[in-house]
Structure 1
Amino acid sequence: MREEEIFLGRNPILNKDEEIVAYELLFHSESHLSQADNVLQTSASVIAGALTQFGTETLLGGGKGFVGVNEEILLSDAIELLPKEKMVLEVFGTAKIEPRVVQRMQALKKKGFSFALQHFRDDGSHLPLLEVIDVVKINIAEMTGEKLWAGIQPFKKRSIRLLAEKVERQEDFQRCRPMGFELFQGYYFARPSILSQKRADPAMVSLMKLNEKVMKDADTNEIEQIFKGNPALSYNLLRLVNSVAIGTRQKITAISHAIIMLGRQQLKRWVQLLLFTQGGKGGIHNPLMQTATLRGRIMELLVQSRPDLYRGIGYSDLAFMTGLLSLIDVLLGTPMKEVVEQLNLTDDVRQALLAHEGSLGLLLSLSERQEEADFKGVDRLLKQSGLRLSDLMSAQRGAISWMNQLSAGF
């Protein structure tokens, strides 16, 4: 009998500088993927097995993983299978806080485990946890204004770190930061704010010109001239290209060499990556950059893994481009329609970016639902596309590993 696939979701947690410092890890069984409210109350051994399958370092990089636990998991011996230096045990708000549970948490804390509390109850049942927890998660969609300020005071007095969840708008982030929140969870960074044209710096202007030339298959000399006029751009491209193996042991040291070695299709990819490293705060470590790049790589790997579903020369490259450009409107502060009109894109890519239509649009929707751990959405789109959950999980593993390799070069 085939072992059941476990869906693993990864939601980024950001610090005050809007850098990814941790991930909330979400698990769901394949057989219950369509039941969004049936969050997998899995065992500690299953969590440990999933972490082993992915690789803790690959999955988390230099950050930590928040893993939801109930009282049964806390009391089990298997909880100690988890890597304590990388895990934050997130106690569900519905967990029964009995004296033996508090004692167990105290013992685990002495062994080096960290704790977060998902939702603090004001009925007094969670008071014993205030001496144990390191982080408390506050749903800012449920608490606003004076109520929010009053609600966080007991934690501030005890130096318990505040994590704001359901941060869906830039305004939410700006509101919570001065209150003393240190951690933020929600996809506000990937949402368009007020879509007005940002003032472009000279480097971005050069990069947009370069992207336009590459997309239109301009002469190599024309492309090289843009690089020569911007040394920083040349340096960043060489660093980026050399950070990931391209089938040669020889380091690329010149732009002309890079163009020849990469070929135009790969050059398009690196130029588009540079749009994010140049324009996004924090460069390649920016959450917007990482989200867009992971989308692209997951889509590319899905196409490559299922030639029975996706045929055509260069289709995997188009899939990568679609995922990467899916957040370009947020990066530039410009409506997607205006951005697309400036680029020489195929109809398939245009339809995907503007309306999530066609095969690429379906893959883009799937990658978006996957990153937000939308269980029902993932299940529906897998059935619609003909893909398997194992295809998606394999692509996710490969994409995360590739992203870590890419980041290591910077």
Structure 2
Amino acid sequence: MPELYSFLRPLLAADKRWAALECCFADPSLLAASELAARFVDAGAAAPAKSTPLVVSIEPEWLPESEFIDKFEPDQAIFVLPARVLEDAPGLALCQNLRQQGRHLGVRLDRRQLIERLAGAPFDYLQIDAAMARYELTALDWSALQRQRLGRIAAGVASLDSFEWLAEKNFELADSRFVTVVDPHAGGQPDLARLKVLKLLTLVIQDADTAEIEEVFRQEARLAYNLLRLVNSVAVGAKTRISSFHQAIALLGRRQLQRWLQLLIYADQLTHANRPNPLLQLAAERGRQMELLSLGLAATGELADGGDAAFMTGIFSLLDILLKLPMSEILGELPLSAEVGQALSSRQGTLGTLLAAIVAGEAGELEKAQTLLAGLGISPACHAMAQLGAFCWASRINAER
């Protein structure tokens, strides 16, 4: 049986916070239940699932082997079965037993005619494609679903408009792939506040004089406020109150200042209220996952400079979506290494291949992602641990903000 890679994708609640992680495989039918159990244990998935539950697609044939389900506490996972289980009497009986044990089970609805079969079925969640929910279900279908009180999980959410419609329909969880799609209805002008951060970041990367960096902070009150709030926080550990930009920059250090700015450029608090920001978290997750995976590649000689270049590649990979500018124009303003620039512009080099693999996994192109990861020599176990580490790190960002 071939080794299969697992891919995690964040699922959003109606307020756009990360509320769950969906676990996907290119072909689940090639995976045994016992192998899935071992995969989650080895990757340490059970611990993060305590705060961010997993949504895992499983096969009806796995139900008699409950080992993989027993690895999780009842509220740590939602196990989603294909619609064919509704015609499988023994499978439904096993589902009933699991529900009585407090397990969460979902069924994937692939045609509206099956809605009548959901009445009395042992499921507490329904997964449905967003386009089907919006354009195929009738008022009578929605009325029937309302009576059944199933938690709703939306797949294939292609746009912000679709996400907002689903939120109005009380979907608890929604696919987040629309976050990386440019909204054609959004304003086309670049965000000047974010461009100011980009200018500041350029100065830090170029190791400019501290006085030049201070001057940018003096011109931007919100940036100055955020810097002083950061250095006076418990996280930084300053023993005395910091009140000058010079002290703040010296305390943070150039490397930490650079990482802070790389995250801040995505933050809504630059221009809007402090609220969940899935684009910020996804950029942070990409950066951290690339950093973790690059450590193994550096050890094998694939990368000369592991962590920083990989983190920068991942976190900058969504700047074109954020700033509404072509990546070529953004790269013209940032003094990046040739390796990082080629990775961002044309997915060339080792960093470019690694970024392409991560993006393919997010987009559901799982076979392509598997091929690219295997070509880099990254094992499924190493990839799984890097993903979990990155998602745990990125999940803390909104809480800390």
List aligned pairs for 1:92-107, cutoff 5 A: 92-95=82-85, 97-107=87-97
Cα deviation for residue 144 of structure 1 reads 4.9
Instruction: Compute the displacement of 1:260 (Å).
Output: 3.1
Matches within 5 A, 1:44-83: 45-56=34-45, 58-60=47-49, 62-78=51-67, 79-83=69-73
Quickly say closer, same or farther: Cα 1:204–1:360, change in 2 above 3 A: same
User: 1:166 deviation in Å?
Assistant: 0.7
The DSSP-based 3-state class of the residue aligned with 1:276 is coil
Residue 233 of structure 1 aligns to a residue whose secondary structure is: helix
Aligned positions of 1:6-405 closer than 5 A:
7-27=5-25, 36-37=26-27, 39-43=29-33, 45-56=34-45, 58-60=47-49, 62-78=51-67, 79-95=69-85, 97-119=87-109, 121=111, 127=117, 130-142=120-132, 144-145=134-135, 147=137, 151-194=141-184, 196-198=187-189, 200=191, 203-204=193-194, 206-230=196-220, 232-234=222-224, 236-237=226-227, 254=242, 255-278=245-268, 285-307=276-298, 308-312=300-304, 314-372=305-363, 374-404=365-395
Q: Could you report, residue by residue, the CA deviation over 1:170-208 in whole angstroms, capped at 9, with x for unpaired residues?
A: 23324434444343114001112227534636x535423
Question: How many residues are paired up?
Answer: 395
Aligned counterparts of 1:129 and 1:87: Cα–Cα separation in 2: 23
Can you list the C-alpha shifts for 1:358-392, whole angstroms capped at 9, x where unaligned? 23211210221234453321232134434444443
Bigger Cα displacement from structure 2, 107-116 vs 93-102: 93-102
- Cα distance between partner residues in 2 of 1:62 and 1:242: 28
2:171 corresponds to which letter in structure 1? F
Q: Quick check: 1:140–1:148 contact (8 Å CA) kept in 2?
A: no
Q: Tell me how far 1:155 sits from its aligned partner.
A: 0.8
| Contact 2:204-2:213 at 8 Å conserved across structures | yes
Structure 1 residues 124 and 38: alpha-carbon distance in aligned structure 2, compared to 1, 3 A threshold:
closer
**Range 229-238 or range 153-162, more displaced:** 229-238
* CA-CA distance at 1:5 after TM superposition: 5.9
Q: Do the aligned residues in 1 keep the contact of 2:129 with 2:156 (CA within 8 Å)? A: yes
CA RMSD of aligned residues (A): 3.6
Q: After the TM superposition, which of the residue ranges 173-182 and 14-23 deviates more from structure 2?
A: 173-182
Q: Which runs of 5+ in 1 are unaligned?
A: 28-35
Q: CA deviation at 1:165?
A: 1.1
Partner Cα distance (1:401, 1:143) in 2: 31
1:291 Cα deviation from its structure 2 partner: 1.4
Alpha-carbon distance, 1:256 to partner: 3.6
State how far apart, in whole Å, the 1-side matches of 2:271 and 2:83 are. Answer: 36
* 3-state DSSP of counterpart to 2:83: coil
Distance 1:165 1:4, change over 3 A: closer
- Rounded Cα–Cα distance in structure 2 between residues aligned with 1:241 and 1:398: 25
How far has the Cα of 1:271 moved from its partner?
0.5
TM norm structure 1: 0.81
Q: Which has the higher mean CA deviation after the structures are superposed, 336-345 or 17-26?
A: 336-345
Contact 2:7-2:361 within 8 A present in 1 as well = yes
Is the alpha carbon distance of 1:76 and 1:295 closer, same or farther for their aligned partners in structure 2, counting shifts above 3 Å?
same
With 153-162 and 270-279 compared, the bigger mean Cα shift is at 153-162
Counterpart of 1:21 in 2: which secondary structure? strand
Instruction: Tell me, in whole angstroms, the C-alpha distance in 2 between the residues paired with 1:334 and 1:19.
Output: 26
Q: For structure 1, which segment, 56-65 or 298-307, has the greater mean C-alpha deviation from structure 2 after superposition?
A: 56-65
What is the CA-CA distance between 1:292 and the residue it aligns to?
1.2
1:154-177 per-residue CA deviation (whole Å, 9 max, x = no partner) reads 212323233221112223324434
Q: Does the C-alpha gap of structure 1 residues 23 and 311 become closer, same or farther in structure 2, counting only changes over 3 Å?
A: closer
Work out whether residues 296 and 321 of structure 1, in 8 Å CA contact, stay in contact via their aligned partners in 2: yes
Higher mean alpha-carbon deviation, 64-73 vs 282-291, is at 282-291
1:235 CA displacement: 5.0
Deviation of 1:84 (Å): 0.5
Distance 1:107 1:225 in 2: 66
Taking the aligned partners of 2:115 and 2:397, their CA distance within structure 1 comes to 46
**Structure 1 residue 41, shift from structure 2 partner:** 4.4
How much does 1:243 deviate? Answer: 8.6
Which one is further off, 268-277 or 211-220? 211-220
SS at match of 1:117: strand
Residue identity in the other structure for 2:331: V
Q: CA deviation at 1:324?
A: 0.2
Take 2:271 and 2:103, find their aligned partners in 1: how far apart are those partners? 34
After superposition, the C-alpha distances for 1:108-135 in whole angstroms (9 at most, x for unaligned) are 3233222221125555597155553222
Name the amino acid aligned to 1:340.
L
Q: Residue 223 and residue 140 in structure 1: after superposition, are their counterparts in 2 closer, same or farther (change >3 A)?
A: same
String of CA shifts for 1:236-262, please: whole Å, max 9, x gaps. 44666799989xx76796454453355
Distance 2:150 2:56 in 1: 18
Report how far residue 14 of structure 1 moved: 1.0
